[in-house]
Amino acid sequence: MGKFHVKKNDEVVVISGSARGKRGKVLEVLPAKQRVVVEGAKMIKKHMRKSQQHPQGAIVEREGSVHISNVMLVATFDARAAKRGVASAKA
């Protein structure tokens, strides 16, 4: 598996995929799948069966995972944008 460039609670930017441009905190790292869960990115709907918390059942919206190669630390992203001369990073 090795070591990854991001860890839990790091602030990251999604640089490619359907959630491109989203910024958020890393909530979870899944090393076996090489994926991370980013706050507010790649939202999915999960159908919950009936339970004590959801007596009628429910559709809950939560974060899906993004491949680790598609995220970059905010500091690195902003430094790269400043070097290119972009006034405000597009995110």
Neighbours of 12 (CB within 10 A): 26
Q: What is the pLDDT of residues 58-85, one digit of tens each?
A: 999 999 999 999 999 999 999 988 888 8
Paired sense of beta strands 71-73 and 43-48, if any:
unpaired
Q: What is the pLDDT of residues 4-57, one digit of tens each?
A: 999 999 999 999 999 999 999 999 999 999 999 999 999 999 999 999 999 999
Rounded Cα gap, residues 71 and 21, in angstroms? 10
pLDDT class of 1 with cuts at 50, 70, 90: low
Domain limits, the chain? 11-84
Domain 11-84 belongs in CATH node 2.30.30.30: yes
Does the pTM surpass 0.85? The reply is: no
pLDDT class of 2 with cuts at 50, 70, 90: confident
In sequence order, which residues have a C-beta less than 8 Å from that of residue 59 and are 6 or more positions away? 45, 46, 47, 48
